[in-house]
């Protein structure tokens, strides 16, 4: 068994009619992978080929990106998110945790510590949109989600990381 498999969880989320989520790719949750390196999360993500990064928080309303996958790395504090829409999966993230959201995955901040900071980044530095589940955007969003390619690298482990294996079903 690869060592990384012990610290990675997968979450499969379904389309709830408002938030599409991804039809085939799971959310990847990397627990405590950067506990010692959390303050350098942005440069680590960038080094692993995930760019167009930012440092801030997470919106307190349901939203998703239909044209890009997103990696979120907790730099400080903790956050409780709900993934997948109103009745989705609640996850607790703390300093050193990373979550990778496939295109279409809804996310919303439910609670966080006062010192909470998170870095977001996108494979190859892709630009991203922000969608909120409006009826008028759904058809276009569903098409965009299907067109987003599997990344060339894992945001945490780079070229030899599990993302490509898990998302493509191939052994690395």
Tell me how far the alpha carbon of residue 129 is from its chain's centroid. 14
Cα separation, 95 vs 158, whole angstroms: 20
Mean pLDDT of 108-119: 98
Domain span including residue 14 = 3-168
pLDDT at 128 over 90: yes
Cα separation, 10 vs 149, whole angstroms: 19
Q: pTM, whole model, 2 decimals? A: 0.94
pLDDT at position 172 is: 36
CATH code, domain carrying 78? 2.60.120.10
Sign of the alpha-carbon dihedral angle for 47, 60, 22, 8: positive
For 29-44, write each residue's pLDDT tens digit. Answer: 999 999 999 999 999 9
| Pairing status of strand 89-94 against strand 117-123 | unpaired
CA angle 101, 89, 153 (to 5 degrees): 20
For 66-110, write each residue's pLDDT tens digit. Answer: 999 999 999 999 999 999 999 999 999 999 999 999 999 999 999
Range list of H helices, 6-92: 41-47
Q: What one-character DSSP code corresponds to residue 106? A: -
Token pair belonging to 3: 């060592």
pLDDT at 1 over 60: no
Q: How many domains does the chain have?
A: 1
């Amino acid at each position: 068994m690869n060592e990384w498999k012990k610290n990675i969880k997968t979450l499969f989320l379904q389309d709830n009619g408002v938030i599409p989520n991804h039809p085939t790719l799971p959310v990847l949750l990397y627990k405590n992978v950067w506990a010692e390196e959390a303050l350098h999360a942005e440069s680590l993500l960038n080094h692993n080929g995930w760019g167009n990064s930012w440092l801030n928080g997470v919106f307190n309303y349901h939203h998703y990106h239909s044209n890009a996958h997103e990696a979120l790395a907790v730099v400080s504090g903790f956050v409780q998110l709900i993934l997948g829409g109103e009745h989705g999966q609640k996850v607790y993230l703390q300093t050193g945790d990373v979550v990778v959201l496939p295109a279409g995955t809804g996310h919303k901040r439910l609670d966080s510590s006062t010192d909470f900071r998170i870095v977001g980044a996108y494979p190859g530095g892709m630009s991203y949109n922000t969608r909120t589940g409006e009826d008028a955007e759904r058809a276009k969003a569903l098409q965009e989600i299907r067109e987003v390619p599997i990344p060339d690298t894992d945001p945490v482990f780079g070229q030899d990381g599990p993302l490509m294996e898990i998302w493509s079903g191939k052994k690395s």
